[in-house]
Structure 1
């Protein structure tokens, strides 16, 4: 069925309420393409009725979030942030932590991890820098608003098409094992990655602090106030001297002088709580 203006307004409000994604009237094609089957399955006469029903049904809420969110991803997506991680960010952080209480402890947040490729790519990039990384306390925290995407990340099993999207064969040989479902991430990487469902527009309760955060290509769907709030709150979870990677089209210059972009290995990144020397890292223990 074709959504009316009333339908579009109702679904736009619902989607913004559930996951913070801002849709306007031009997105009627997306609403119809992503939700029409759910509307029919729910036995609703129109999209407005469906929106009302979703608010009363936790299962339908999950199905709407899974349907409306974009889970486009691949291994080492865009490549340059991972080059910056290998050749600039991690070596400097390792040096800065060398005299601290926890020199081998690193926490990294993949804040829109989709089906897990980004988080596992971060772990492999870390292993490129630290050959004996199994002896390090590396904690990679992957979150996404889509329960289906998080479940896929937790499984860590990818079919032939998925595993070939950006993954060099040397990584496949070192960190994957052939399984009935395709290629499974091995325990070496899996032990270092934890995944859970999280809405980035909600308070960051019990997340702790991080040395590096990847939050790429998600805030482009938010309203300007929500986008600003998100990145300011992410900055508060960064350790002093920590780094934030955003998507290539997400500039944060409007957040203030401490958010001036820095470019390394052709990747744009931010160090809003920058520091000179080791002293501030020593206080953290993270």
Structure 2
């Protein structure tokens, strides 16, 4: 690929889905888009980028589906789901049980890929709350890829995918054998709804959530888009809401609101929880001191 090819494709991908690629990802660009370039009969990637920009929504969708990463598995990293089971859900239940009319729990799995994360969340809720049917539970699962949303909505997984991260007890309890693979049971599927959402566009219409999982997606954004997206996610959380991000992602640079909380070897954030004044003043002072040393 020439530098012009790389610049053209990187600009196209950024405009379509906000993923910031550069010349170090030339191998990824070729491996993901070569078949589309050949299918469209383009002589090079510059020509392909021009065509994709002016083409119908179908080609743009194909580019997004090809370029977005779908590396996922059930109960990925495990510790966030342990924190969900032993920390977040019990605290939410205690908080909401004190209000007779507030038995609603809303969870958002942003960048849900092919559905393993939202279904893992649903199974965790069902395990934690034996009376979950007496609660108004909704899990919104979103992704920018139409193909990912379609696959996730079907809830069917071949053996290679159910063998990764899924314990036998969950398989036996929450899946049904079908066509050489396994399909998620209706009682799990009924807790989850799917919608296409671009995290770089406004998602205020989704409403507020008690818990947001947004893991290993924003790492592909540039610094400005990353900061804006995390702040927007915080705005979608309830006052005591929980934000779970990827194990390699740290939000401490976003200010005193984003102080990491630890439980079950997992890190999460509660950006809208009111910190005591003396803690907040101390955090601000630490930030100012650190900035002065730079």
TM bucket by the smaller chain?
A: over 0.9
Q: State the Cα distance separating 1:155 from its structure 2 match.
A: 0.2
Q: Distance in 1 between matches of 2:160 and 2:28?
A: 25
Q: Distance in 2 between matches of 1:169 and 1:102?
A: 37
Aligned residue pairs total 274
Match of 1:17 in 2: 15
Q: Give the secondary structure class of the aligned counterpart of 1:273.
A: coil
Q: Distance in 2 between matches of 1:92 and 1:63?
A: 42
Q: How does 1:152-167 map to 2 (within 5 A)?
A: 152-167=151-166
Q: State the Cα distance separating 1:181 from its structure 2 match.
A: 5.4
Q: CA RMSD in A?
A: 1.1
Q: State the Cα distance separating 1:4 from its structure 2 match.
A: 1.0
Mapped contact 1:94–1:103 kept (Cα < 8 A) = no
Match of 1:284 in 2: none
Q: State the Cα distance separating 1:28 from its structure 2 match.
A: 1.1
Mapped contact 2:204–2:236 kept (Cα < 8 A) = no
Q: Give the secondary structure class of the aligned counterpart of 2:206.
A: coil
Match of 1:279 in 2: none
Mapped contact 2:106–2:138 kept (Cα < 8 A) = yes
Cα displacement string for residues 98-150 of structure 1 (whole angstroms, at most 9, x for unaligned residues): 12254321000000100000000001111121012123211000001111111
Mapped contact 2:159–2:180 kept (Cα < 8 A) = no
Match of 2:283 in 1: none
Mapped contact 1:241–1:271 kept (Cα < 8 A) = yes
* C-alpha spacing 1:40/1:232, structure 2 compared with 1 (3 Å): same
Q: Give the secondary structure class of the aligned counterpart of 2:257.
A: helix
- Superposed structure 1 runs of 4+ greater than 4 Å apart: none
Q: Distance in 2 between matches of 1:6 and 1:175?
A: 50
Which TM-score applies when normalising by structure 1? 0.93
Q: State the Cα distance separating 1:248 from its structure 2 match.
A: 1.1
Q: Give the secondary structure class of the aligned counterpart of 1:138.
A: strand
Q: Give the secondary structure class of the aligned counterpart of 1:178.
A: strand
Q: Distance in 2 between matches of 1:210 and 1:192?
A: 15
State which drifts further: 230-239 or 267-276. 267-276
Q: Give the secondary structure class of the aligned counterpart of 1:206.
A: helix
Q: How does 1:23-172 map to 2 (within 5 A)?
A: 23-57=21-55, 58-172=57-171
Match of 1:281 in 2: none
